[in-house]
Amino acid sequence: MNKDWQIFLSGQGAVLEQGELKSFDGTNTYPDLSQTYICDLSGLGLIKASGEDVQSFLHGQFTNDLNQVTPSTSQLSSYCNPKGRMLSIFRVFMQGNDYFLLIRRDVIEATLKKLTMFKLMAKVDLSDVSDELVLFGIAGHDADSILKESNLPVPNDIDQSIQHNDTTIIRIPSESSRILFISESENAISIQKSLSENTTQATSNIWELHDIQSGVAQITAETSEAFIPQMVNLELIGGVNFQKGCYPGQEIVARTHYLGKPNRRMYRINIDSTSPPQPGLNIFSVKDGEQPVGKIVSAQSTGENTCEALAVLRTEKESADDLYLETLSGPKVSITTLPYSLESNNN
């Protein structure tokens, strides 16, 4: 975490453990999504990519078409191993001529290592700049109006990126409204102060809950190289381009796309549990006994005995009512609705 930002958050009542924000004022209340939250996103990090060959190099590594990334347009993408399994999912954006990957910190090392291995003679510089900049966001139904009241520019469209006073501002998918900020610490602190009167301070848990409700997957250290893009619906939300050409794992990803419906998809689920399960935990069906039928992608608590989550399941289980977490005697799992269709266009 950026040191200046850490000092600032501590002064705002943040409880930190080993540089990670745990709560504000020592309390962990359940989310009230009628409120608008300002969320610290220090659990995310940044990989910076620059150099003469950076655009062509990155284009040949990722599942999406990097030609579509501009200083005003960001992009969801992923990085696969040769078997088409994703090491990471991230958002790509630009500042000047440099590209940045907004990515979970726990998969940065593996992603950087693989990128560096494929760099060969390309004129590209790759570095982890997670602690140089500050990441935070505002999420909730009143987000747009609150930003406008503070004289901050508001991106109109999903993925749109605005550069403002050395700060990058990006609109992220949400069932309400969600705006991401990437800034140096001085600007971040100034923006945070200007928004604090009309927002509730929160950890990244609120942000991740918005991801879950929006059907946007995260790849964590526990699930790295576990899923191909279609298993987490990445092509349905603009994270895969099937016309862009080769990249690691492209043949398998393309074959899955053109040969028909995937046999595993990601679903939004409710879990009868007091605490959110870790990514990678198995889901079981009474009908299938001890053979797992799915895995948790991400989860967050929404009440005293309820969690919302995303899980990859066998598609034949999309209407099942006999699903349980971790064991057949574990918490009950119920499938709910995503904000988009699971039917893909195979053209």
CA–chain centroid gap for 123, Å, is: 29
pLDDT of residue 258: 87
pLDDT band at residue 26 under the 50/70/90 scheme: low
Q: Does residue 347 register a pLDDT over 70? A: no
Q: Does residue 133 register a pLDDT over 60? A: yes
The owner of tokens 């962990």 is: 28
Count other C-beta atoms under 10 Å from residue 229's C-beta.
27
pLDDT band at residue 27 under the 50/70/90 scheme: low
Helix (H) or strand (E) holding 44, with range, is strand 44-50
pLDDT digits (tens, 9 = 90+) for 59-82: 999 999 999 999 999 999 999 999
Half-sphere exposure of 258 (CA within 13 A, CB side): 10
Region 285-313: mean pLDDT is 95
Bridge partners (DSSP) listed for residue 165: none
> The pTM is what?
0.94
pLDDT digits (tens, 9 = 90+) for 191-214: 999 998 899 888 899 999 999 999
What are the boundaries of each domain within the chain? 1-262, 264-339
Same fold, 1-262 and 264-339: no
* Nearest by Cα to 100 from 123, 133, 122: 133
> Mean pLDDT in the chain?
93
Q: Are 210 and 46 in contact (CB under 8 A)?
A: no
| CA 206 – CA 28 distance, rounded (Å) | 11
Query: Phi, psi (5° rounding) for residue 27?
Result: -115, 145
Q: What is the chain's percent helix, strand, coil content, to nearest 5?
A: 25, 35, 40
pLDDT digits (tens, 9 = 90+) for 323-336: 999 999 999 999 99
pLDDT of residue 64: 98
Q: Does residue 346 register a pLDDT over 60? A: no
Architecture of domain 1-262: 2-Layer Sandwich (3.30)
pLDDT of residue 28: 58
Terminal alpha carbon distance of the chain: 43
Backbone Cα Rg of the chain: 20
Query: Phi, psi (5° rounding) for residue 280?
Result: 95, -15
Region 138-150: mean pLDDT is 95
User: How much of the chain, in percent, has pLDDT values that exceed 70?
Assistant: 97
CATH node for 264-339: 2.40.30.110
pLDDT of residue 29: 67
| CA 314 – CA 345 distance, rounded (Å) | 20
